């Protein structure tokens, strides 16, 4: 279901590699003064003067990270950018440039790549970044997209700065992306049995969008600066809350108490978990792909974030010797383990 058979199909060979790059990137505009030279030479040229630079790369692989039977190509281009920007923001940095490389088989026409690049262009405009280069090549194993994001930072925040007695804070809500995936996978199986069946996805709009068109929390970096709050450690929630907490604790050499009743869940996540008979806490802990920010702050900063609806204080950092625990609603303590997505298929 990657194409509309009524659409025009221009073979990739019609353009050649360099002509294809020119065609796909012709609408990209430069908006940052740090971009001296973007697309069009052997390499991009950037000038950040005396600022520190952050660089991160993510690779999305068809059949592993996305399924084109329900992932629109424009959304895929958008998501490929967003997941990289999330890592930049997790360093307390401002994203400024990206490069985009795509490996594609000849089953895709030029129009399919145009859709992907339209999503990339939309993300670039919304998040105010310059697309400064990349590559296209052929693939025998489906579609691969690699994005490298570059940013500038004044005061970087690492995973390693949390202290005992710091508060553990998360933005937004968790579990939506995983439950959106469950709905999409279910409807895919229904479609296989009866292609004429049209799914009613209206009850799942929020969680499906969390899966197909996630957003990176650029707004949080500005908000924290405006509130005069500098996190002591930070990470983005891409692999599930439990994994990210373990990263912070291990790299900061601290322990943690995470309170189950404080984990933020959207009502649509709760109702869909009930429908699928999945525990919502398990989904929040292990689901992944929420792209919220998880960070620690000193208790002195608590009054600054206390009433802000963007933040939920969900835990408390302790001495490393005390370990990492989920404190349940019944007040029992369960060791936190990173189980990830595959846990749901066991």
- 182-198 pLDDT per residue, tens: 999 999 999 889 888 88
Could you read off the pLDDT of 45-57 as tens digits, one per residue?
A: 888 888 899 999 9
Distance CA 129, CA 151 (A): 9
Percent of the chain with pLDDT over 70: 94
Q: Which residue stretches of the chain are H helix?
A: 16-25, 73-89, 110-126, 176-193, 205-212, 218-226, 241-252, 267-276, 280-286, 302-305
Alpha-carbon distance 194 to 206, whole Å?
25
pLDDT at 41: 67
pTM here?
Answer: 0.90
For residue range 195-216, what is the model confidence (pLDDT) as tens digits?
A: 888 888 999 999 999 999 999 9
Distance (Å, rounded) from C-alpha 20 to C-alpha 1? Answer: 24
Query: What's the CA dihedral at 28, 29, 32, 34 to 10 degrees?
Result: 70
Rounded to 5 degrees, φ, ψ at 266 are: -70, 145
73-89 and 218-226 helices, crossing angle to 10°? 30
Whether 176 has a pLDDT exceeding 80, the answer reads yes
Q: What domains sit in the chain, N to C, each tagged with a CATH number? A: 12-153 (3.30.1330.10), 167-345 (3.90.650.10)
**d(Cα 51, Cα 87) in Å, to the nearest integer?**
18
Please, which residues have CB within 8 angstroms of residue 114's CB and are 6 or more apart in sequence?
Answer: 24
Return the residue matching tokens 């970044």: 129
Helix axes of 176-193 and 267-276: crossing angle, nearest 10 degrees:
50
| pLDDT tens-digit readout, 265-323 | 999 999 999 999 999 999 999 999 999 999 999 999 999 999 999 999 999 999 999 99
Rounded distance between C-alpha atoms, residue 278 and residue 185, angstroms: 15
pLDDT band at 234 (very low <50, low <70, confident <90, very high): very high
Local confidence band at 7 (pLDDT 50, 70, 90 cut-offs)? low
pLDDT > 90? residue 341: no
Which is nearest to 176 in space by CA: 85, 110, 60, 273? Answer: 273
Q: Supply the mean pLDDT for the chain.
A: 91
Say if CB 218 and CB 292 are below 8 A apart. no
296 DSSP β-pair partners:
168, 233
Q: What are phi and psi of 119, to 5 degrees?
A: -65, -40
The C-alpha angle with vertex 178 and arms to 173 and 179, in degrees rounded to 5, equals: 85
Q: Is 198 helix (H, G, I), strand (E, B) or coil?
A: coil
Transcribe 205-265 into DSSP letters: HHHHHHHHS----HHHHHHHHHTT---SEEEE-SS-HHHHHHHHHHHHTEEEEEEGGGS--
pLDDT above 70 for 145: yes
């Amino acid at each position: 279901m990657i194409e509309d058979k009524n659409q025009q199909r221009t073979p990739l060979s019609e353009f050649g590699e360099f002509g294809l790059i020119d065609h796909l990137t012709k609408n990209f505009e430069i908006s940052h003064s740090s971009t001296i030279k973007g697309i069009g030479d052997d390499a991009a040229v950037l000038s950040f003067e005396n600022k520190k630079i952050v660089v991160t790369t993510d690779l999305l692989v068809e059949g592993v990270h996305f399924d084109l039977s329900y992932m629109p190509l424009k959304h895929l281009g958008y998501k490929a950018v967003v997941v990289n920007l999330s890592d930049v923001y997790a360093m307390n940095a401002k994203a400024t440039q990206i490069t985009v490389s795509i490996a594609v088989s000849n089953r895709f026409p030029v129009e399919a790549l145009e859709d992907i690049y339209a999503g990339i262009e939309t993300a670039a405009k919304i998040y105010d970044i310059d697309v400064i280069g990349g590559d296209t090549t052929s693939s025998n194993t489906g579609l691969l997209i690699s994005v490298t994001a570059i940013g500038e930072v004044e005061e970087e925040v690492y995973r390693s700065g949390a202290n005992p007695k710091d508060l553990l804070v998360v933005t937004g809500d968790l579990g939506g992306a995983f439950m959106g995936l469950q709905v999409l996978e279910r409807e895919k199986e229904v479609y296989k049995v009866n292609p004429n069946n049209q799914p009613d996805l209206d009850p799942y709009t929020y969680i499906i969008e969390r899966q197909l068109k996630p957003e990176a929390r650029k707004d949080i970096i500005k908000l924290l600066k405006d509130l005069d709050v500098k996190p002591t450690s930070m990470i983005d929630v891409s692999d599930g809350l439990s994994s990210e907490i373990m990263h912070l604790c291990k790299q900061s050499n601290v322990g943690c108490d995470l309170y189950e009743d404080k984990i933020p869940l959207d009502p649509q996540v709760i109702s869909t978990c009930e429908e699928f008979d999945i525990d919502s806490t398990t989904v929040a802990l292990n689901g992944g792909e929420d792209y919220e920010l998880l960070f620690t702050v000193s208790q002195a900063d608590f009054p600054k974030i206390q009433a802000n609806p963007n933040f939920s204080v969900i835990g408390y950092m302790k001495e490393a010797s005390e370990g990492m625990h989920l404190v349940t609603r019944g007040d029992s303590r369960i060791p936190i383990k990173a189980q990830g997505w595959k846990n749901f298929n066991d």
